[in-house]
Amino acid sequence: MNPILLAILIVAGIGLLAGLLLAVLSKIMAVPVDEKAAEIEEILPGANCGACGFSGCAGYAAALSEGKTKETGLCAPGGNEVSAKVASLMGLAAGTVEPQAAVVHCAGCTEAASRKMIYEGVDSCRMASQLFGGDKSCTYGCVGLGDCVQVCPYDAISLCDGIAVVNTDLCRACKKCVAACPKHLISLMPKKHTQAAVMCRNHDKGALTRKACTIGCIGCTKCVRQCPVGAIGMDNNVAVVDPEKCTGCGACHAGCPTGAIRLVFEAEGPAKPALCEAAE
């Protein structure tokens, strides 16, 4: 046979064979793709933050479409809008998303918190906190090198005078900063109304706290006695506000001798990074 023709025939034959085999295989071995999950994933914000408790947006979408969960309001970054869309797609009752925002529980700005050394290492809280717990005398406080600023996908966190401050209007409660903070200073708080928050996590005795920082919680328990609704308790020398009970009356804020208790989520305007007001 003509060698050129033979070459064409062989290559074309092999190609055809491989193509047919692939076509047949892909039909026989087709894995059903969950279209509903794909649609839900389109709606979800795609931040893959894990705030819903599933492994990213794809995980949440799969769980919803398979009926593993009926909660449509688990997506904190998406808020009520996403919840309603997902609910209408799935025919479920729309869950309401409790608006939350992150709060950095430290007010130890440069003026208030004393320093035990000058840190000139890598610009990372995680690194700095491994070196004698950071450059501040207080080993519980904000290191102020902005690991949380780095991870925030919404640019809601900024550094203000040596401490991280969350702009609660931009915060979408994805919890990335909560995981990033090596001092575990950031927590989410319900954003319903003005709330009191203790801006200190220093578990040392009052005298020691006072030496390290002028606006630390010294554990005097004055706020516990003053709170009209009993929302404040003590945890290992630090006052802790229960956000469920707090009415935001401000009695604790007014009475705190060091100014460690602040009001957050004040009704009007973006939350001022008012943390350093005592020092100013």
Partner 1 sequence: MIKFYIALLVMGVLTQNFVLSRFLGICPFLGVSKKLNTAVGMSAAVIFVMLLATAATYPLNILLEKNGLGYLQTIVFILVIAALVQMVEIVLKKYVKSLYKALGIYLPLITTNCAVLGVVILNIDNISNYAAYSFGFGHAMMNSFAAGAGFMLAMVLFAGVRSRLETADVPKFLQGLPITLISASIVSMSFLGFGGLVEGLGLL
In the complex, the smallest distance separating the C-beta of residue 19 from partner 1, rounded to whole angstroms, is 8
In the complex, the smallest distance separating the C-beta of residue 144 from partner 1, rounded to whole angstroms, is 24
In the complex, the smallest distance separating the C-beta of residue 215 from partner 1, rounded to whole angstroms, is 37
Residue 56 sits at φ, ψ, to 5 deg, of 80, 180
Strand pairing category for 163-166 and 157-160: antiparallel
In the complex, the smallest distance separating the C-beta of residue 24 from partner 1, rounded to whole angstroms, is 10
| Of the residues 11, 117, 131, 229, which one makes contact with partner 1 according to CB under 8 A | 11
Q: Which is nearer to partner 1, 8 or 229 (CB)?
A: 8
| Of the residues 14, 38, 229, 254, which one makes contact with partner 1 according to CB under 8 A | 14
Strand pairing category for 238-241 and 261-264: unpaired
| Of the residues 2, 5, 7, 99, which one makes contact with partner 1 according to CB under 8 A | 7
| Of the residues 2, 5, 31, 268, which one makes contact with partner 1 according to CB under 8 A | 31
| Of the residues 3, 67, 228, 269, which one makes contact with partner 1 according to CB under 8 A | 3
Q: Quote the tokens at residue 261.
A: 């208790």
Strand pairing category for 195-198 and 261-264: antiparallel
Residue with tokens 């998406």: 78
* CA atoms of 62 and 164, how far apart (whole Å): 35
Q: Which is nearer to partner 1, 21 or 38 (CB)?
A: 21
Confirm or reject binding of residue 16 to partner 1 (CB under 8 A). Answer: no
Residues 141-170 that bind partner 1 (CB under 8 A): none
Confirm or reject binding of residue 33 to partner 1 (CB under 8 A). Answer: no
Q: Please list the alpha-helical segments (H only) found in the chain.
A: 3-28, 35-43, 56-65, 79-90, 125-129, 147-151, 176-180, 206-212, 222-226, 251-255
Counting Cα atoms < 13 Å in the Cβ hemisphere of 232 gives 27
Confirm or reject binding of residue 19 to partner 1 (CB under 8 A). Answer: yes
Which stretch, 9-17, 93-101, 149-157, 206-214, contacts partner 1 (CB under 8 A)? 9-17
Confirm or reject binding of residue 6 to partner 1 (CB under 8 A). Answer: yes
Count of residues in the chain: 280
Q: Which is nearer to partner 1, 54 or 265 (CB)?
A: 54
Confirm or reject binding of residue 25 to partner 1 (CB under 8 A). Answer: yes
How many residues bind partner 1 (CB under 8 A)? The answer is 15
| Of the residues 10, 117, 131, 229, which one makes contact with partner 1 according to CB under 8 A | 10
- Show Cβ contacts of residue 81 under 8 Å, excluding neighbours closer than 6 positions: none
Beta bridge partners of 49: none
* CA atoms of 166 and 181, how far apart (whole Å): 13
Q: Which is nearer to partner 1, 54 or 140 (CB)?
A: 54
Confirm or reject binding of residue 55 to partner 1 (CB under 8 A). Answer: no
Beta bridge partners of 163: 160
* CA atoms of 244 and 224, how far apart (whole Å): 15
Q: Where along the sequence are the contacts to partner 1 (CB under 8 A)?
A: 3, 6-7, 10-11, 14-15, 18-19, 21-22, 25-26, 29, 31
